[in-house]
Amino acid sequence: MRASPTLADGFPDLSQMQIAREIHWRRWLAAAAIVVVLAAIARAFANGQIEWSYVSRFLTAKVILQGIVNTMVMAVLAMALGIVLGVVAAIMRLSPNPVLKSVAAGYTWLFRGTPLILQLLLWFNLALVFPTIGIPGLWTARAVDVMTPFLAALLGLGINQGAYTSEVMRAGMLSVDAGQYEAAQAIGMGRLRALRRIILPQAMRVVIPPLGNEFIGMVKATSLASVIQYPEVLHNAENIYYANSRVIELLIVAGCWYLLVVSILTPLQMLLERHFARGTARIIR
Amino acid sequence: MTRLSLLLGLAVLVAATSVRAAELPAEIKQAGTLKLTVNSTYAPMEYRDPATNELVGLDIDLANELAKRLGVKIVWSETPFAELIPSLQTKRADFIISGIQDRSSRRETADFIDYLTTGPQFFVMAESVAKIATDLCGKKVGTTRSTAFPLEIEKWSKQNCEAAGKPAIQYVPGENSIDVRNQLKQGRIDAAVQGSETLPYAQQQEAGRYRVIGEQLSTGYQGIMFRKDDAALREVVTEHLAVMIADGSYKRILDKFGLGANAVEKPMMNAAPQ
């Protein structure tokens, strides 16, 4: 073996030596195994009892597009209702007034304590309890005319969401340093004004990631409204396969749309986070 | 010479026995069990007894009687109505006997052995103003959306309402028979449609609440659904069903559920007119 050249100070000069590449054979094996499994799954889907022509035909069918529009309309409106109710409930929950406090706690308990699908069925069948609803002396209507599948779904999803959002909001408000309340009080702000001007804007930064999470959950929770005949995308896909028996094909169609919507929402959440993080020294991404 | 005739005779005998009785597929025979899947929301065809939570109904009794004669046990499972056909395709079920109507659109994926007459039937609340079926033109009529009834209503409306210059029936979807009757009670819909074989039971459960209106929209058959490539099992079941019809055990089961009038004379394959 040839001796390697030495440097002036007597250490061997390694700068010209090749760095031996380690073969990560376990890593390669794991990757290969995963690729094989994925390929097998892909092959099963390609050769299974799936008629892909139905998938491509119905992917842009009018009924499906209308369904995804209805899904998004419901998700946005129910989430908006949920946020409004959640903010109000969170403020009530943090209020010194024991009545407001316990009503807010009771609301969270009731609507978080029962399954969403049960609540939807209750709203839809409300006319069995209240045949007519209205304002005494002014206006009355048959409950079934008011409680359409749309409204039943909106109330069911929105009020349920409010119960969850109130906890997210409360966490956000608690995350703002107590010194901020005190400073606001010191310059003579009332509680509500301090909340609106000082606390909530700072809380937003903290609540956006969990709210984004909840909204993505909401997009998919709207599918539960299919049982009360709200024509969202799963309901419409089901109607098609009730008629033509292409179950897997139509489920794949609906699945593609949900995935697309969620893929669009994720970067939107990032933008929103960036917006509410303005003015903070640490921007963690 | 005698040896040849003996052989021939033996061959004839073998052929004759194999023609006489169809055999259960080896898989089922070996396991000694029949896997059956039902949608138990369709009283009195198949439902869970509210007191005992047992699976009961006309289809259940028929299947049990069949299994007894085949010398096998049944392993029951349940699924939503729309998943019945996939259950058959994925072999979760050996065959399907679950109040499913023989329809040409369903024959793409399965063969039907028809065993009971049926047909969609209008009914209203007892106090409804509707007297005859055409009073329902332009009104809201609900039915289970996973069934073939929405199409039947549309067809009937075209022939009886629109052809006579009346407004078409407005179809309102429902999730299952119970949901549809709930919508009827609340006044969401003016009338409902259910298979005629389920109405005696519903009327018995809520005596005097409903009134049947008009004739059946169409006449068809309930069928036992088999995979197209499963002719062996289909033949065994058909044979035993024919025997059950002949010896009166079939009629006894139908009578138990007040559906003696829906009996068929013999099992028929893919026989429902569309």
pLDDT tens track for A132-188: 888 888 888 888 888 899 999 999 999 999 999 999 999 999 999 989 989 998 999
Give the minimum alpha-carbon distance from B146 to chain A in angstroms, rounded to a whole number. Answer: 5
- Find the CB nearest A242 among B86, B145, B182: B145
Instruction: Provide the pLDDT for residue B228.
Output: 94
CA R_g for chain A: 28
A125 to chain B: which residues are within 8 Å by CB?
Answer: 182, 186
Written as six digits, the tokens of B105 are 């659109």
CA distance A70 to A150: 9
Q: Is the pLDDT confidence value at B12 over 60?
A: no
CA distance A120 to A128: 14
pLDDT in tens, B48-91: 988 888 999 999 999 999 999 999 999 999 988 888 988 998 89
Residues 6+ apart with CB under 8 A from A173: A90, A91, A94, A195, A199, A200, A203
Instruction: Provide the pLDDT for residue B17.
Output: 47
CA distance B85 to A234: 19
Concatenating the DSSP letter of every residue in A79-108 gives HHHHHHHHHHHHHHHTSS-HHHHHHHHHHH
Mutate to test the interface with A, among B147, B186, B206, B225 (most CBs of A within 10 A): B186
CB A119 within 8 A of CB A155: no
- Asked if A117 is an interface residue toward chain B (Cβ–Cβ < 8 A), one would say no
CB-facing half-sphere around the CA of B264: CA atoms within 13 A = 22
The H or E element spanning position A132 is strand A132-135
Residue A141: phi and psi, rounded to 5, are: -150, 160
Q: What's the per-residue H, E or C state across B188-216? A: CCCEEEEEHHHHHHHHHHCCCCEEECCCC
Instruction: Provide the pLDDT for residue B273.
Output: 82
CA distance A86 to A146: 24
Q: Is the pLDDT confidence value at B156 over 60?
A: yes
Q: Is the pLDDT confidence value at B1 over 80?
A: no
Instruction: Provide the pLDDT for residue A227.
Output: 92
Q: Is the pLDDT confidence value at A259 over 70?
A: yes
CB B147 within 8 A of CB B153: no
- Asked if A143 is an interface residue toward chain B (Cβ–Cβ < 8 A), one would say yes
Residue type, B251: K
Instruction: Provide the pLDDT for residue A281.
Output: 54
- Asked if A94 is an interface residue toward chain B (Cβ–Cβ < 8 A), one would say no
Per-residue pLDDT averaged across A15-24, rounded? 85
pLDDT in tens, B97-137: 999 999 988 898 899 999 999 999 999 999 999 999 999 99
Instruction: Provide the pLDDT for residue B9.
Output: 58
Establish whether the linkage from the previous residue to B44 is cis, with ω within 30° of 0.
yes
Residue type, A242: Y
Model pTM?
0.77
Residue pairs between chains A and B whose CB atoms are closer than 8 Å: 47
Instruction: Provide the pLDDT for residue A18.
Output: 86
Separation in Å, CA A239 to CA A242, A258, B89, B124:
5, 17, 20, 25
Instruction: Provide the pLDDT for residue A48.
Output: 81
Per-residue pLDDT averaged across A101-115, rounded? 96
Task: With CB atoms and an 8 Å threshold, state whether B187 touches A144.
Answer: yes
Q: Pick the most confident of A42-46, B14-18, B198-202, B265-269.
A: B265-269
Q: B19 pLDDT band (50/70/90 cuts)?
A: very low
Task: With CB atoms and an 8 Å threshold, state whether B85 touches A244.
Answer: no
Task: With CB atoms and an 8 Å threshold, state whether A243 touches B151.
Answer: yes
With tokens 């040409």, the residue in question is: B104
Give the minimum alpha-carbon distance from A47 to chain B in angstroms, rounded to a whole number. Answer: 14
pLDDT in tens, A161-171: 999 999 999 99
Task: With CB atoms and an 8 Å threshold, state whether B85 touches A247.
Answer: yes
Sequence-ordered strand ranges (E) for chain B: 33-38, 41-42, 46-48, 55-56, 73-78, 110-118, 120-125, 140-144, 170-174, 191-195, 210-212, 220-227, 268-269
Q: What angle do CA A60, A66, A70 make, to 5 degrees?
A: 135
- Find the DSSP H helices in A94-224: 98-112, 116-124, 143-146, 149-175, 178-186, 191-194, 200-221
Residue B173: phi and psi, rounded to 5, are: -75, 150
CB B85 within 8 A of CB A243: no
Residues 6+ apart with CB under 8 A from A166: A85, A86, A87, A88, A89, A90, A93, A104, A107, A108
Nearest to A253 by CA among A35, A61, A88: A61
Q: A222 pLDDT band (50/70/90 cuts)?
A: very high
Separation in Å, CA A49 to CA A44, A242, B38, B54, B80:
9, 17, 22, 34, 20
CA distance A155 to A56: 35
Secondary structure (3-state) at A172? helix
CB A85 within 8 A of CB A110: no
